[in-house]
């Protein structure tokens, strides 16, 4: 496989960092982004320690100009953009629908939905011009079913699934594949933030997973890497569950 140019948002920790490391092991060049500069620099060093060319840029995906600067950095450094991984996202506190404040709603939608839209739009302009590319959006099990007390998050992730399927249909003719993955609870800082401090909730959620464990970032990363590879060359417009059977 020839060396590819990859952009990964939300790369400072969790699934984003694990995905960056997975691509780095394949020798791909990588642009990392996150609002967390310290974590992003840590990921960058881990990548460079593997002998791979990589760059970090601070990006708030809810700001279109910053997203455009990120994709332009990839073009400036590597000459193309082969794979875009739209991973940046937030969850915030658990709240019943009638208790969701405006700020909570708008912040989640701005990052998880509008941010993915900005990233997709910027990457698609490049991929259409170069006549090919691949995009993986990080949705959620909350984007393909109910997610009690996570109304804003569920709304945003349902939107990611919808945008993925629609764009896959529109851009397949340009040799661009667009898929998304739908993890359930994964052992990441965000996943731990939901269940780590609530033993009863953690126990209840574990019982809902047939495999009786939560997923690991590396398991999601390997799926993302496979979906972006030539082994998955005819997979387009898919929302792939990574949930231990939770939504089965």
Domains of the chain: 5-241 (3.40.50.720)
Mean pLDDT across 80-97 = 95
Identify the burial level of 45 via C-beta atoms within 10 angstroms of its C-beta, where 0-12 means exposed, 13-18 middle and 19 or more buried.
exposed
Give the angle subtended at the CA of 91 by the CAs of 31 and 223, to the nearest 5°: 50
* Other CB atoms within 10 A of residue 169 CB: 12
* C-alpha distances in Å from residue 29, one per residue of 75, 130, 146, 212: 11, 17, 37, 36
What percent of the chain is modeled with pLDDT above 90?
82
Helix (H) or strand (E) holding 115: helix 115-130
User: How many angstroms separate the CA atoms of 167 and 219, rounded?
Assistant: 26
Listed in sequence order, the residues at least 6 apart from 16 whose beta carbon sits closer than 8 Å to its beta carbon are 8, 9, 10, 32, 34, 43, 85, 87, 88
- pLDDT value for 246: 87
Taking 80 as the threshold, does the pLDDT of residue 188 lie above it? no
Q: How is residue 230 annotated by DSSP?
A: G
Q: Which two tokens stand for residue 115?
A: 């941010």
Taking 70 as the threshold, does the pLDDT of residue 198 lie above it? no
State the pTM of this model.
Answer: 0.94
- pLDDT value for 33: 98
User: How many angstroms separate the CA atoms of 31 and 16, rounded?
Assistant: 12
Active site residue 96: no
- pLDDT value for 190: 64
Listed in sequence order, the residues at least 6 apart from 87 whose beta carbon sits closer than 8 Å to its beta carbon are 8, 9, 10, 11, 15, 16, 19, 138
- pLDDT value for 185: 84
**Confidence class of residue 44 from pLDDT cuts 50, 70 and 90?**
very high
Mean pLDDT across 217-246 = 96
- pLDDT value for 194: 58
User: How many angstroms separate the CA atoms of 93 and 83, rounded?
Assistant: 32
Taking 60 as the threshold, does the pLDDT of residue 110 lie above it? yes
- pLDDT value for 155: 98
Taking 60 as the threshold, does the pLDDT of residue 196 lie above it? no
User: How many angstroms separate the CA atoms of 247 and 142, rounded?
Assistant: 10
Taking 60 as the threshold, does the pLDDT of residue 109 lie above it? yes
Mean pLDDT across 198-203 = 72
**Confidence class of residue 205 from pLDDT cuts 50, 70 and 90?**
confident
**Confidence class of residue 193 from pLDDT cuts 50, 70 and 90?**
low
User: How many angstroms separate the CA atoms of 32 and 234, rounded?
Assistant: 27
Residue 9's closest CA among 77, 80, 78, 67?
67
Write down the mean pLDDT value for the chain.
94
Among 96, 118, 153, 194, the active-site one is 153
Taking 90 as the threshold, does the pLDDT of residue 214 lie above it? no
Cβ 240 vs Cβ 182: under 8 Å: yes
Mean pLDDT across 188-197 = 61
Listed in sequence order, the residues at least 6 apart from 117 whose beta carbon sits closer than 8 Å to its beta carbon are 163
* Other CB atoms within 10 A of residue 183 CB: 26
């Amino acid at each position: 496989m020839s060396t590819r140019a990859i952009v990964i948002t939300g790369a400072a920790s969790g699934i984003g960092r694990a995905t960056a490391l997975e691509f780095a092991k394949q020798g791909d060049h990588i642009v990392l982004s996150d609002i967390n500069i310290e974590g992003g620099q840590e990921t960058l060093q881990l990548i460079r320690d593997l002998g791979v060319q990589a760059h970090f840029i601070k990006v708030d995906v809810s700001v279109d100009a910053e997203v455009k600067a990120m994709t332009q950095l990839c073009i400036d450094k590597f000459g193309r953009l082969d794979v875009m991984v739209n991973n940046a996202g937030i969850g915030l506190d658990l709240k019943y629908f009638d208790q969701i404040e405006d700020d909570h709603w708008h912040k989640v939608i701005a990052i998880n939905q509008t941010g993915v839209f900005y990233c997709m739009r910027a990457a698609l302009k490049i991929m259409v011009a170069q006549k090919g590319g691949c995009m993986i959006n990080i949705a959620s099990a909350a984007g393909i079913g109910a997610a009690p007390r996570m109304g804003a998050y569920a709304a945003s992730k349902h939107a990611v699934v919808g945008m993925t399927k629609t764009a896959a249909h529109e851009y397949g003719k340009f040799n661009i594949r667009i898929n998304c993955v739908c993890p359930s609870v994964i052992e990441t800082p965000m996943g731990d933030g939901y269940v780590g401090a609530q033993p009863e909730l953690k126990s209840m959620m574990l019982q809902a997973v047939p495999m009786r464990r939560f997923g690991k970032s590396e398991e999601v990363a390997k799926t993302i890497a496979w979906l972006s590879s030539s082994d998955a060359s005819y997979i387009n417009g898919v929302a792939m569950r990574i949930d231990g059977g939770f939504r089965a």
